[in-house]
């Protein structure tokens, strides 16, 4: 009868580990999705900050790029790629502007928030992707059930 107790203990341990693994993988994927939403919000906020300076000298190209950023949603893979290109163009255009005390602080703060949100998203995606290769996650085929989180290939606005 002792072997039955050992068998029950082993099954309970494996079940607990499987439950822990599934919970961890799902939680990391949820955090990656949430951080992506936060990143998109910060990118939209930066574009809206740029749009506040419509009519300022030298802002014509930057405002047009900001409008293209706001106009592109990130729902499909193609839209996501277009949004990445638009964000990178906006970042490059903002770097080329000569700082003016009237707007430099607002844009610098918006760029810092974007950089922080991008770093947090990158960290969560890295952790979620790594969790997909855990032995129990592979055994339970979680990589088929959960969509793979994606990195945002955008330039760091703070340099």
Q: Encode pLDDT of 47-104 as tens digits.
A: 888 888 777 777 777 777 787 777 777 788 888 888 888 888 888 888 887 777 777 7
Cα 41 from Cα 79, distance rounded (Å): 16
The confidence score (pLDDT) of residue 36 equals 94
What does the pLDDT read at residue 124? 97
Position 159 scores a pLDDT of 64
Residues 122-147, mean pLDDT to the nearest whole number: 90
SS3 131: helix
Per-domain residue ranges of the chain: 20-145
The string of pLDDT tens digits covering residues 102-133 is: 777 888 899 999 999 999 999 999 999 999 98
Cα pseudo-dihedral 84, 117, 159, 109, rounded to 10:
110
């Amino acid at each position: 009868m002792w072997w039955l107790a050992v068998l029950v203990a082993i099954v309970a341990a494996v079940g607990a580990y499987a439950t822990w693994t599934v919970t961890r993988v799902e939680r990391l994927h949820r955090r990656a999705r949430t951080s992506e939403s936060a990143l998109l919000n910060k990118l939209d906020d930066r574009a809206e900050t740029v749009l506040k300076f419509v009519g300022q000298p030298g802002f014509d190209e930057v405002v047009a790029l900001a409008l293209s950023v706001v106009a592109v949603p990130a729902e499909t893979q193609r839209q996501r790629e277009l949004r990445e290109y638009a964000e990178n163009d906006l970042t490059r255009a903002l770097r080329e502007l000569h700082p003016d005390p009237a707007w430099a602080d607002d844009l610098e703060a918006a760029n810092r928030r974007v950089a922080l949100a991008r770093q947090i998203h990158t960290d969560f995606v890295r952790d979620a992707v790594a969790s997909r290769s855990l032995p129990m996650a592979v055994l339970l085929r979680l990589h088929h059930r959960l969509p793979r989180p994606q990195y945002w290939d955008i330039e760091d606005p703070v340099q």
